[in-house]
Amino acid sequence: MALTGIQIYKHLPRTNCKDCGFPTCLAFAMKLAQKQAPVDKCPHISDDAKAVLAEESAPPIRKVIIGTSDKKVTIGEETVLFRHEKTFVHPPAITLQVEDTLGADKLAEKIKQVQAVCFERVGQNLRAGLIMVKNSSADKDKFIQAINTVKANSDLPLILAGKNAANLEAGLEILSKERPLIHAAAADNYEAMATLAKKYQCPLAVSSAEVLEKLAELAEKVAGLGVKDIVLEPVAASLGAGLSQLTQIRRAALKKSAKGLGYPVMVCAAADTDDPIQEALCAGVYVMRYASIIVLKAAEDWQLLPLLTLTQNIYTDPQKPLQVEENVYKIG
Amino acid sequence: MPFAIPKERYNGKINTVTIGKDNTVTLGGAGSYPFLGFEGGVQAGIPVAFEIWDTAPSDWAPALNEIYGDVYADPVAWALLCQDKYKADMVALRLYSTHPDQGDSSASDAGELVKKVLAAIKVPLIILGANHLEKDAEVLKACAEAASGYNCLLGKAQEKNYKTIGAAAMAYGHYVLALSNLDINLAKQLNILLTQMGVKQEQIVMDTMSSSLGYGLEYSYSVMERVRQAALKQNDKMVQMPIISDVGIEAWKAKEAKTDNEAWGDTKSRGILWEATSAIGLLMSGSDALIMRHPQAVAQVRKTVAGLMAA
């Protein structure tokens, strides 16, 4: 919730010196409240006050970019709980998870298949957004091999997932210019992960299966180490628990009622099932409620068409309904 | 600052509506936005009605024909199949052939069929007209009498025919399914008109228009969220009726649900997922009950609902 003019005024020197170009501190405060003047215009404001005001005027949910090519994925910057209040901003990236324990041929086949998915609907091209490569083998060479296979068959941005920092670093060396998302900082390794994120200038997922307060604390610690581009991953025991957590995070971020939650959120659609229909439906729940990255284990054409259509429907701006562009089209 | 779990404060609740005679089914009762268990007030369950017709459909998808083909010609057998094999919570009988363009079968024939179906099944019955304003009024009047004592849900009452349908419901002890066109004020207005003529608030179920995935879902979704906001936060009694979504008929119209297309993958799985995703989208928007077609779509939706209701 943005600060009012009066609330901002309390942080100003209140000397009415006019150095900012406005007649009184209250006038300047009103301009700040409407975002019509930068806070730097006041040469006498204390550093503490500056920090408070900067934080208050920061967008509630940080913008995070994954990838660097024209397929890069932008998430965050959301401002509402309900689409009808204004609009949702960045549709979630539907993400295929692959493990480096899969043989090279099978892996290549899977990647080619998800890379080829592209549905044209009402003038938009609907595709999967990201590929998550998991170091399930815990072996460095297998991880490198898998990453190279993925790169050779797809141009989608990546999430590099693993528990071993050295293996992750080897992967980051290959992708050094491509800004993958690093998965993930947990309570027992966040310092090493933060170091990687800073070294390679990559966004970092922060993951916790504990209560939200612990996730928030962990994110704050990671932010305190200098990592700004964070993606939260609450790990829930059930779909209902996941829904509750994502709802609470969105509310807390928008109300700024808890530090450490002002970031986009990633979820695994259905870690506990291999049924592709059920997984797609769980993913659908998260499309409707606040997820920015949704990880699937399977991504067949027939699954992605309904899921991507749902994403398109929910993420249209109510003020600007999608329309086919007026034109003369050739039939046949 | 101390960590505070943001809990919504609600000032109203969704009504409960219980239909049926010996085996009853309750719709509604939510005290929070959909499935937010941590705020309490999640409804007891999401009842699902299986849709059957009074005549054999000629253009249903192959995936549906393979399930129901053998019973298309016999609505009673069709109803029993849904109840016994697929565990329908309710049966929704759509009197499609009463439409003047689809056979124009008579209101009294419809009434006779309703009697037969009610004699055979145990689960509650939803009786749906063919969506022709004048004919529906006549048909539902006859069916209301035929179904007297069975506490059915009659639908759909619309702005131009609610008087007859409302009166029939009151006379024979049934519930009214009120259909409005994607607008919270139109939904409210219809409920006000019904209550003003004597239908009780607790006798009304709403359909604010159930659009399919890919064909207007976002309109239903935003209207329903607004309706729920008004009902739960502003305690607006004129929109606290439970909502039932007519998913099957809309979802299976989509070409994506039934047309073979190599780029779109397996047609049967795609159709099931198209119907199930439409249903989940509407449940997350605030729907309290569903009318569906494919048993596998129903099974998958039930599984997802169970996951949503788990803590």
- DSSP assignment of A109-165 equals HHHHHHHH--EEETTEEE---EEEEE-TT--HHHHHHHHHHHHHH--S-EEEE-S-H
A141 in a domain, yes or no? no
B4 in a domain, yes or no? no
Residue A283: closest C-alpha in chain B: B277
Band of residue A266 on the pLDDT scale cut at 50, 70, 90: very high
A24 CA to chain B: closest CA distance, Å? 31
pTM summary value: 0.92
A-contacting residues of B 83-112, CB under 8 Å?
A: none
Q: What is the pLDDT, as a whole number, of residue B161?
A: 97
Omega within 30 of 0 (cis) for the link into A184: yes
Please tell me the total count of domains within chain B. 1
A140 CA to chain B: closest CA distance, Å? 35
Q: Are residues A226 and A85 in the same domain?
A: yes
Question: How far from chain centre, in Å, is Cα B119?
Answer: 22
The answer to whether A212 and A248 have CB atoms below 8 angstroms apart is: yes
A153 in a domain, yes or no? no
Q: What is the pLDDT, as a whole number, of residue A1?
A: 46
The one-letter code for the residue type at A103 is G
pLDDT tens-digit series, residues A24-43: 999 988 888 887 888 888 88
Torsion of CA A181, A183, A185, A189, to 10 degrees: -120
User: How is residue B1 written in tokens?
Assistant: 């600052």
A35 in reach of chain B (CB within 8 A)? no
Q: Are residues A233 and A262 in the same domain?
A: yes
Instruction: Average the pLDDT over A220-240 and give the result.
Output: 97
B225 in a domain, yes or no? yes
Band of residue B1 on the pLDDT scale cut at 50, 70, 90: low
A164 in reach of chain B (CB within 8 A)? no
Distance CA B76, CA B147 (A): 15
- ipTM value: 0.96
Q: Count other C-beta atoms under 10 Å from residue B217's C-beta.
A: 24
Domain that holds residue B302: 16-306
B203 in a domain, yes or no? yes
CATH of the domain at A38: 1.10.15.40
**Helix (H) / strand (E) containing B110:** helix B107-120
Is the pLDDT confidence value at B6 over 90?
no
Closest CA to A308 of A131, A127, A73, A157: A127
pLDDT tens-digit series, residues B72-85: 999 999 999 999 99
Contacts of B221 in chain A (CB under 8 A): 83, 288, 313-314
Q: Are residues A17 and A48 in the same domain?
A: yes
A248 in reach of chain B (CB within 8 A)? yes
Contact B3 A244 (CB under 8 A): no
Question: Which DSSP symbol is given to A56?
Answer: H
The answer to whether B54 and B105 have CB atoms below 8 angstroms apart is: yes
A289 CA to chain B: closest CA distance, Å? 8
Backbone angles phi, psi at A325, to 5 degrees: -65, 135
Residue A272: closest C-alpha in chain B: B307
A199 in a domain, yes or no? yes
A331 in a domain, yes or no? no
Q: What is the pLDDT, as a whole number, of residue A35?
A: 75
pLDDT tens-digit series, residues B247-291: 999 999 999 999 999 999 999 999 999 999 999 999 999 999 999
A88 in a domain, yes or no? yes
pLDDT tens-digit series, residues A70-109: 999 999 999 999 999 999 999 999 999 999 999 999 999 9
B227 in reach of chain A (CB within 8 A)? no
Band of residue A3 on the pLDDT scale cut at 50, 70, 90: confident
A143 in a domain, yes or no? no
CATH of the domain at B208: 3.20.20.20
B74 in a domain, yes or no? yes
Instruction: Average the pLDDT over A272-287 and give the result.
Output: 96
Q: How many contacts (CB atoms, under 8 Å) link A and B?
A: 145
Instruction: Average the pLDDT over A284-301 and give the result.
Output: 97
Q: What is the pLDDT, as a whole number, of residue B172?
A: 98
Contacts of A82 in chain B (CB under 8 A): 222, 225, 229
A238 CA to chain B: closest CA distance, Å? 6
Mutation for testing the A interface, residue in B305, B308, B309 having most A CBs under 10 Å: B308
**Helix (H) / strand (E) containing B125:** strand B125-128
CATH of the domain at A183: 3.20.20.20
pLDDT tens-digit series, residues A124-163: 999 999 999 999 999 999 999 999 999 999 999 999 999 9
A168 CA to chain B: closest CA distance, Å? 33
Contact B213 A84 (CB under 8 A): no
∠ CA B123-B124-B130, nearest 5°, is 125
A332 in a domain, yes or no? no
Residue B213: closest C-alpha in chain A: A310
Q: Are residues A262 and A292 in the same domain?
A: yes
B183 in reach of chain A (CB within 8 A)? no
Q: Are residues A233 and A302 in the same domain?
A: yes
CA dist list (Å): B94 to B19, B126, B139, B166: 17, 8, 11, 18
Band of residue A2 on the pLDDT scale cut at 50, 70, 90: low
B5 in a domain, yes or no? no
Which of A242-256, A309-323, B124-138, B200-214 shows the lowest mean pLDDT across its residues? A309-323
Q: Are residues A52 and A68 in the same domain?
A: no
Residue A244: closest C-alpha in chain B: B36
Q: Are residues A195 and A50 in the same domain?
A: no
Please tell me the total count of domains within chain A. 2
- CB-nearest to B273 from A259, A277, A316 is A277
Mutation for testing the A interface, residue in B10, B182, B219, B277 having most A CBs under 10 Å: B277
What share of residues in chain A are helix, strand, coil (percent, to 5)?
A: 40, 15, 45
Q: Are residues A90 and A33 in the same domain?
A: no
The answer to whether A275 and A89 have CB atoms below 8 angstroms apart is: no
Q: What percent of chain B has pLDDT over 70?
A: 99
User: How is residue B177 written in tokens?
Assistant: 């399914």
Contact A84 B225 (CB under 8 A): yes
Distance CA A25, CA B63 (A): 71
Distance CA A197, CA A195 (A): 5
The answer to whether B159 and B166 have CB atoms below 8 angstroms apart is: no
Q: Are residues A189 and A262 in the same domain?
A: yes
Distance CA B86, CA B299 (A): 9
Distance CA B257, CA B63 (A): 9
Q: What is the pLDDT, as a whole number, of residue A332?
A: 67
Q: What is the pLDDT, as a whole number, of residue A194?
A: 98
Burial grade of A54 (CB within 10 A; 0-12, 13-18, 19 or more): exposed
Q: Convert A186-196 to b/e letters by CB count within 10 Å (16 or more is b).
A: beeebeebbeb
Instruction: Average the pLDDT over B118-122 and give the result.
Output: 98
B2 in a domain, yes or no? no
B311 in a domain, yes or no? no
The answer to whether A168 and A141 have CB atoms below 8 angstroms apart is: no
Domain that holds residue A79: 64-98+128-135+176-313
A108 CA to chain B: closest CA distance, Å? 19
